[in-house]
Amino acid sequence: SVRVSLPTFHATLVYCDNVSVIYLSGNPVQHQRTKHIEMDIYFVREKVARGQALILHVPSRNQIADIFTKGLPRVLFYDFWTSLSVCEPPASTAGV
């Protein structure tokens, strides 16, 4: 198979609710507390340094992906659920 690589003209936006991770992604200085950090942060740092990725903060309240990864309070779950355009099934699947 032939692999074609196309140049990107805009940085990939990555939304993150962890302020420490955002700081680490743009700071090339190693700190004692980050000595054992995962290797993927180096990959992300390189992409940020080259302008290929931009890490932006999004508050946890607006992190819609959390519906797939966390147990959420009912109100927040329904807010996210409705933003995904999920509809109630037409018929009940529960026994009568």
54: Cβ–Cβ under 8 A, 6 or more apart, which residues?
11, 12, 13, 14, 48
The pTM assigned to this predicted structure is 0.56
Q: What is the domain extent for residue 39?
A: 12-84
Is residue 2 situated within a structural domain? no
Is residue 69 a part of any domain in this protein?
yes
What percentage of the chain reaches a pLDDT higher than 70?
A: 79
The β-bridge partners of 15 are 56
pLDDT, tens digit, for every residue of 16-51? Answer: 888 877 787 777 666 556 655 666 778 888 889 999
Supply the pLDDT for residue 33. 61
How many separate domains does the chain show?
1
Tell me what pLDDT residue 87 has: 76
Mean pLDDT over the full length of the chain: 79
Position 5 pLDDT exceeds 80: no
Coil, strand or helix: which one is 21?
helix
